[in-house]
Chain A
Amino acid sequence: MIGFRDAGYVVASYAVTFVGIALYTWNLLRRARKAAQQVPPEDRPWT
């Protein structure tokens, strides 16, 4: 278990990583949803 004395930088690093990934993912899925509304499912190349 991580010690209290060292926790700040380690937890900050994990927090930046996880929050950064979450924000990018949220933004990507939001843009994807918006674009997908303009293209019917049968026209999508992966379907």
Chain B
Amino acid sequence: MNRASVNGSSTSTRFTRALGVATILGLGWLAAFGLLISPDDVVQGSYARLLYIHVPSAWLAYLAFGVTGLASAGYLWPRTRNLNWDRIAGASAEVGVVFMAITLVSGSLWGKVTWGTYWTWDARLTTTAFLFVTYIGYLAVRDLGGSHEQRARRSGVVALLAVLEVPLVHFSVKWWRPLHQSETIERGGLKGLMLFSFFVGMVTFTLLYVWLVMHRQRLIALNDIVDDRGLDRALAERRNEAAS
């Protein structure tokens, strides 16, 4: 990549800037379709508009945690071992936690108007909250210290265990038949403008996810470089002290 395409004081490149612009336009479209253009649902009325942010954010959280699991496997597998996998895993997990938080808050508001309560300990909500806390734990494990390789090994194992929770959350509505409704989209419950608005949400959140992960993994790479330089400097100072 040529120097002109790199921003001197950030993690941006031409590609991420173009992606960022597309994401902002998508968010504008999502707000327009979600709040203004999309029709009300026959059963849920205007509250169905929450679906356009709630479901895409949940799916993006699943995707993010899946990518964290795959990237961790990429690091732990000896033939593909590279710290870039670990950086992608860490970046994707953090962005996934943000999407999961959005899922929980939007779901809680939706629950208030449809069930009359912000929270209930049904299977879907409980497993989702557990998944959220698990990945906060994963991020805490990444910050425990040690070398970059130790961080990658330690958090890679945690990620491979944590990702097993994702199917548990997704299929909880089938296995336990809780208060939370089953899959609206898979049952063909959306049509016309409502379906289109839903896809605007999915595409926009996917663009946002890619953009955020690219910036976040570059930030981890920068922090690793700064850490290595600090360590090199400290070692050089110790050698000078020993020599003098």
Contact = CB atoms under 8 A, between A and B. Distances in A.
B222 A38 contact: yes
Interface stretch (B49-57, B120-128, B129-137): B49-57
Interface residues of A, number: 34
Contacts, number: 115
A10 B47 contact: yes
Interface residues of B, number: 44
Please classify the interface of chain B as helix (H, G, I), strand (E, B), loop, or mixed, using the class held by over half of its residues: helix
Smallest CB-CB A-B distances: 7 pairs: A6-B46, A35-B222, A32-B11, A13-B106, A13-B109, A32-B219, A2-B46
Interface of A: 1-3, 6-7, 9-14, 16-18, 20-21, 24-25, 28-29, 31-33, 35-39, 41, 43-47
Interface of B: 1, 3, 6-11, 13, 27, 31, 34-36, 40, 45-47, 49-50, 53-54, 57, 84, 98, 101-102, 105-106, 109-110, 112-113, 208, 212, 215-216, 218-219, 221-223, 225-226
28 contacts: A1-B36, A3-B40, A3-B45, A6-B45, A6-B47, A9-B110, A13-B53, A14-B31, A14-B34, A16-B102, A16-B106, A16-B109, A17-B57, A20-B98, A24-B212, A28-B216, A29-B215, A31-B219, A33-B9, A35-B11, A35-B223, A36-B10, A36-B11, A41-B8, A44-B222, A44-B225, A46-B1, A47-B13
